[in-house]
Amino acid sequence: MDTKISLDLPLSKERLNEINTHLSTQTPEEILKWAVDNIPGLYQTTAFGLTGLVAIDMLSKITTSPPPLIFLDTLYHFRETYELVEDVKARYSVPLHVYKPEGCLDVKQFEEKHGERLWETDEDTYDFLVKVEPARRAYEDLGVKAVITGRRASQGADRASLKPLEVDSTGLLKLNPLFQWNFHLLEWYIKENNVPRNKLLDQGYRSVGDWHSTVKVVEGQDERAGRWAGKEKTECGLHKDYFSMKAQAKVAAGAFEHLGDAVLGLSVTNLLVDMYPGLHVGPSTKIRALVVGNATLAEISLKYKLPIRLRLHHAQAITLRASTHIQADVLESFIGGLYHEQGLKAVQNWLNPLFRPYATAAYRIVRVQHGLPLLASPSPSPRSLQTPPELASAPTPMTTIGHLALFNQKLQKADCTVEWIYSDTPEAGTDGKGTAEDGTSRRGTKTTPVWYVRVLVSGEVYGSGRGNTKKAARNEAAKVGLEKMGIFVW
């Protein structure tokens, strides 16, 4: 195989095998030279371990434009590691890109955001936050197509069958130029070429990572025995296939979500039969729809911190906080899993106390819709009495029907007079300059007008609202008015 070959990405399995057959017979310098000549978008990811340092030194002798370095600063490296970074920068003229956990400059910010000792309480999420996410961000920012790693077969565990070139599930090429070298060869090269090295290696350490998960090793132990001592873990997290892991989890979650949706509907139906014997199908269907609405499910999901309890990755948790729909799906998945493991009775024992207040509120709303007077809260049947679940508090009655319609219904029954006062300029709730409390503009344009309205009930201001139509403005004001009357909406 010639040194200069064409790489058509993505690589087929046959082509990858062909390249690995060739590279397996080459020296590390020859592998690196091949990569520099043939692979576009090539970078070197390094934590400045011995293998990475040897590769940096070799590349400095192969080319005047070595691949840039990517250093993932977990914020928990040893002081000696940070000192080594400065030594390498002074010795080699190679660009260095440093990436830290998103939104965090130091340990204090990280722990304020994610909690202390996260590596103990949620190891996978810790790996994701300090290595996987920053690496993905770096690859996207820099246009990385391939990375040079410091992985070697002699490190054992998942690396024992290592090949010189790998392709992960995202199509990223991973080059392992020193895959055949052992620890003693690395030490020999470092000494012969006067390459900077971590001072901790002189203090009994052989593989250096974060300070909280690295210990000294004794004679005869594997070189990575000092990493994650006492745990089954063998990889730092960066080289795990998180995409495959998440894909498998997504399939399982989807199955439980469908199961949970069916079980939830059945459980709420049984609850309504217990609470309101003789309730007709039509009203029962409306009540059930209100009870199992996304907002209710999302509120319970958040109250029970299900994304945390289900050990979702941080990236998923960020999305969950912003999405009522997905939060509802999480609760349905949880219910499906509970049913799968413990059966319907366990699900109902947990759900009935949670949903009873929502069912009561929904029942009252449906009675109002049908023009019927409100009734006293029903007495629970003996078989529906359960101990309230921990961590939950009774929710505020909520409704999903139109705010304006419900507002008008309530006032008509109370025989109150209503007055709507319109304006095309901001009034209450602004700074007088057309800026809302949330900082957004409240002034309309020639093509998109904005209406402002205040609603007076028997002479008293009950609320104000704005919208691009008079009806939309009234609906917003009605929402505020309902809250003043003790009826909360979503």
Distance CA 455, CA 457 (A): 7
- Please give the full DSSP string across 64-86, using - where no structure is assigned: SSPPPEEEE--S-B-HHHHHHHH
Tell whether the model's pLDDT for residue 168 goes beyond 50: yes
Tell whether the model's pLDDT for residue 54 goes beyond 50: yes
The yes/no answer on whether domain 403-489 falls in CATH 3.30.160.20 is: yes
pLDDT of residue 256: 76
Distance CA 259, CA 340 (A): 9
Tell whether the model's pLDDT for residue 377 goes beyond 80: no
Is residue 137 classed as helix, strand or coil in its secondary structure?
helix
pLDDT tens column, 309-346? 444 444 444 444 444 456 677 778 888 888 887 888 88
Tell whether the model's pLDDT for residue 424 goes beyond 70: no
pLDDT of residue 221: 55
Sorted by where each begins, the domain ranges of the chain are: 13-213, 242-396, 403-489
The pair of structure tokens assigned to 118 is 């996260």
The pair phi, psi for residue 127, each rounded to 5°, is -60, -40
Tell whether the model's pLDDT for residue 476 goes beyond 60: yes
The more confidently predicted of residues 387 and 359 is 359
Tell whether the model's pLDDT for residue 420 goes beyond 80: yes
Q: Which of 53, 144, 236, 335 is catalytic?
A: 236
Give the CATH number of domain 242-396: 1.10.1520.10
> Cis ω on the peptide bond leading into residue 10 (within 30° of 0)?
yes
Closest CA to 377 of 394, 355, 396, 360: 360
Is residue 470 classed as helix, strand or coil in its secondary structure?
helix
236 is catalytic: yes
To the question of pTM greater than 0.85 for the whole model, the response is no
pLDDT mean over 44-53: 95
- Please give the full DSSP string across 297-356, using - where no structure is assigned: HHHHHHHTTHHHHTT--HHHHHHHHH-HHHHHHHHHHHHHHHHHHH-HHHHHHHHHHHHH
Q: How confident is the model at residue 204 (pLDDT cuts 50, 70, 90)?
A: confident
Tell whether the model's pLDDT for residue 194 goes beyond 90: yes
The yes/no answer on whether domain 13-213 falls in CATH 3.40.50.620 is: yes
